[in-house]
Amino acid sequence: MGHRNKKVISGIMAELEVQLEFTEDPELLVFIPLLGLGMVDIVTLNRVTGEFKAYDVKARSFRESDYVTKEGYHKRTKGKLIHRTRSEEQMRLGIEIIYPKEKG
């Protein structure tokens, strides 16, 4: 299986995990976009408050090596979570980035 396929499967698994987490709240209705296309992976509607929220789900990825600056300084980053940022459009639309909860 190629690297690209592993990334796709990892992303799908992360989306399914977050969907499952949301279903634990009886007040939430969970919606997913058709064909999984676009900048939103999940939309929730709170039945009680009427609040809609949009999420971009990211799989947890960790740094494989330490970072070395141009000056040669080694930063201990190996094993640390890679934090993803929202695009300008996601910020404008109020789309949140969410990661599946850690297991264990």
22-69 per-position pLDDT tens digit:
999 999 999 998 877 789 999 999 999 999 999 999 987 767 777 777
Q: Which has the higher per-residue pLDDT, 24 or 73?
A: 24
pTM for the whole thing? 0.77
pLDDT band at 2 (very low <50, low <70, confident <90, very high): low
Residue whose tokens read 């999940």: 42
Mean pLDDT of 2-30: 89
Provide the token pair at 28: 């939430």
- Say if residues 66 and 76 touch (Cβ distance below 8 Å): yes
- Determine the residue type at 49: T
